[in-house]
Amino acid sequence: MRRGWSLRGRLVRRLVLGVSLGWLCGMALTMLFLSREMTEFMDDILRDSARVVLATGGDFTAADRTVFPAYRIVTPAGEQGDAPWPRQQADGPRSSGGWRIYRLSRPADGIAVELGQSNEWRRDELLESIGGLVLLMLPVLGLVLWIVRMTVTGALTPALRFARSLGGRRADDLSPVAAADLPEELIPIPDALNGYLGRIGQYVEAERQFATHAAHELRTPLAAASAQAQLMVAGRADAEAPRQIDRAIGRLGRIVERLLELSRAEAGIANEAGCDLVVVLRMMIAEQRPAPAFDDGDLEVAQVAMHPDAAALMIGNVIRNAADHGTGPVRARLRPGPVLEIRNPVAASAGFRQGTFRKSPDSEGVGLGMTIIRKIAERSGVALSFSIQEGEARVRMDFTAIARPA
């Protein structure tokens, strides 16, 4: 089985990438801030040292030569120092020839002090400070990445536990799954799964009931035919035995036919072919004896996106049920939409029984007609409605949703 991508791996990678980028951006801003602060700090050192040297009357021994590798001191007696930059004329900080210079003078005594630091030295000091900061922050970054990985792993542990619990379930276990420790974002998964298992359970139970009812319906005519056949073999059968066997076999054939029709209805019949309802209706009415009265509403063509076999199966069952369970002639009326309505008189106690194998006590049918009609209508997009008014049963089939232009 092909393995999919790892949620934990993807989360860890993205979080690590995000944390790393954030760390780099933070370090870049820190370096910019540190560079500015170091520049101001070194300028302050130049200024303060120049004040000390000036206060001692030009004695450079008061300054640190490692911090100020070059200087110039101008006194009335002359100039001393090895400054490589041109002599400055104004007090304050200056940059000249790769040096950062600070000049401070005392005009009353004729003394001027110039202290300088090379830009290269200042850059080396700055890089050394930044390198130390990076070395200190690398363990912090590693710790943060480890915490991210462990946090993601811990957050996904309930989901992995849930997956293992599903993998250990029996194939016939359709009970709801428990997901008490799942995070809120994953709760829809067990909810949807429980709904799915519930529907499967309903289908399995429906299949069991169907098998039970089908076996019962098949067993009854088989038992009747077998009993009559045994009597005939023993020579104790009466004159009605052959007819009873024929009726039993006929009922058995009808049951098998209905079961096959139900199987086709549940499997679904493709709708790509399309059909003309007027043609299908005329064919189904011609097969029924006595033939129902048909009012086509002056419609010559009524094209719908429904396979002709599906339409014939559904309409044929409606007409057959009306003829079998009604007390008078069946009438079919087709109107624009197209909408088909089939009606016939019924007894006062009559009613539509929608369940599979549900039928009235005195019915000789199988109890599958309404189930076949409903399933085909649901799969084909036909709107069904059933009603009994003033002793007349009506079945309305609205094909408007699947109508095609003529």
Containing domain of residue 338, as a range?
Answer: 268-402
Residue 286's SS3 state is helix
Residue linked to tokens 């064919």: 283
User: Do 108 and 22 fall within a single domain?
Assistant: yes
CATH number for the domain harbouring residue 367: 3.30.565.10
pTM of the entire predicted model: 0.45
* Same domain (yes/no): 134, 19: yes
Does residue 275 sit in the same domain as residue 244? Answer: no
- Give the residue from 110, 126, 142 where a domain finishes: 142
Strands 383-389 and 275-276, bridge-based pairing: unpaired
How big is the CA angle at 280 (ends 275 and 282), to the nearest 5 degrees? 145
Same domain, 54 and 94: yes
User: Do 261 and 313 form a contact (C-beta atoms < 8 A)?
Assistant: yes
Between CA 124 and CA 173 the distance in angstroms is 72
* 314 CA to centre of own chain: 36
Domain membership flag for residue 163 = no
| Location of structure tokens 């079961």 | 259
Domain boundary among 263, 290, 324: 263
Please count the structural domains in the chain.
Answer: 3
In a domain, 181, yes or no: no
Residue where a domain stops, chosen among 244, 263, 282: 263
Residues 22 and 116 in one domain: yes
Helices 369-380 and 241-267 sit at what angle, rounded to 10 degrees? 20
In this structure, the answer to whether residues 18 and 78 fall within a common structural domain is: yes
Single out the residue of 278, 280, 348, 274 nearest to residue 316, CA to CA.
280
Q: What is the pLDDT of residue 215?
A: 67
Report the CATH number at residue 199. Answer: 1.10.287
Residue 396 lies in a domain: yes
Would you give the DSSP letter of residue 185? G
- Shared domain check, 214 and 293: no
Residue 246: what are its φ and ψ, rounded to 5°?
A: -60, -40
Pair 395, 279 in one domain: yes
Residue 196 is assigned to a structural domain of this protein: yes
- On whether residue 57 sits in a domain, the answer given is yes
275 with 388, same domain: the answer is yes
pLDDT of residue 262: 63
217: in domain: yes
Radius of gyration of the chain (CA): 49
Same structural domain for residues 226 and 274? no
The answer to whether residues 61 and 116 touch, using CB atoms and an 8 Å cutoff, is no
Which amino acid does the sequence have at 270? A
Residue 223 and residue 321 in one domain: no
> In tens digits, what is the pLDDT along the chain, a chain of 406 residues?
456 677 777 777 888 888 888 888 888 888 888 888 888 888 888 888 888 888 777 666 655 555 667 778 888 878 888 888 888 888 888 888 888 888 888 888 888 888 888 888 888 888 888 888 888 888 888 888 888 888 888 877 877 787 777 777 787 777 888 776 777 777 888 888 888 888 888 777 767 766 666 666 666 667 767 777 777 777 666 767 777 777 777 766 766 766 666 666 555 565 567 888 888 888 888 887 787 888 877 788 888 888 888 888 888 888 887 887 778 888 888 888 888 888 888 776 666 665 554 555 455 555 566 777 888 888 878 888 888 887 888 888 898 888 888 6
167 part of a folded domain: no
Domain membership of residue 169 (yes or no) is no
| CB of 125 closer than 8 Å to CB of 69 | no
Q: Which distant-in-sequence residues (6+ apart) come within 8 Å of 283 by Cβ?
A: 312
Check whether residue 329 and residue 387 sit in a common domain: yes
Q: CA-to-CA distance for 182 and 120, rounded, in angstroms?
A: 59
